[in-house]
């Protein structure tokens, strides 16, 4: 997974967990267009809403 994909997956997980602090830090630190991070956040929110299990390390453990 390259850095861009990693940042996008982190943004998705942050959306899933409504973790705005993590998302904001990601926007600052990741060299990824804000639009892509916003899209990923929304996908995470949608996944939670649809009752999908989270795949992040914390939840999968």
- Where on the chain is the footprint of Zn ion (CB under 5 A)? 54, 56, 59
Query: Is the Cβ of residue 45 or residue 54 nearer to Zn ion in the bound state?
Result: 54
Do 7 and 37 contact (CB within 8 A), yes or no?
yes
Query: Is the Cβ of residue 33 or residue 52 nearer to Zn ion in the bound state?
Result: 52
As measured in angstroms, the least distance from the Cβ of 54 to Zn ion is: 3
Nearest Cα residue to 41 out of 20, 61, 14, 59: 14
As measured in angstroms, the least distance from the Cβ of 30 to Zn ion is: 19
3-state secondary structure of 51: coil
As measured in angstroms, the least distance from the Cβ of 10 to Zn ion is: 11
CB atoms within 10 A of CB 60: 8
């Amino acid at each position: 997974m390259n850095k861009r994909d990693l940042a996008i997956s982190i943004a998705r997980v942050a959306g899933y967990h409504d973790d705005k602090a993590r998302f904001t830090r990601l926007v600052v630190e990741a060299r990824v267009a804000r639009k892509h991070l916003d899209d990923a956040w929304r996908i995470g929110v949608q996944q939670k809403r649809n009752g999908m299990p989270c795949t992040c390390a914390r939840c999968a453990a």
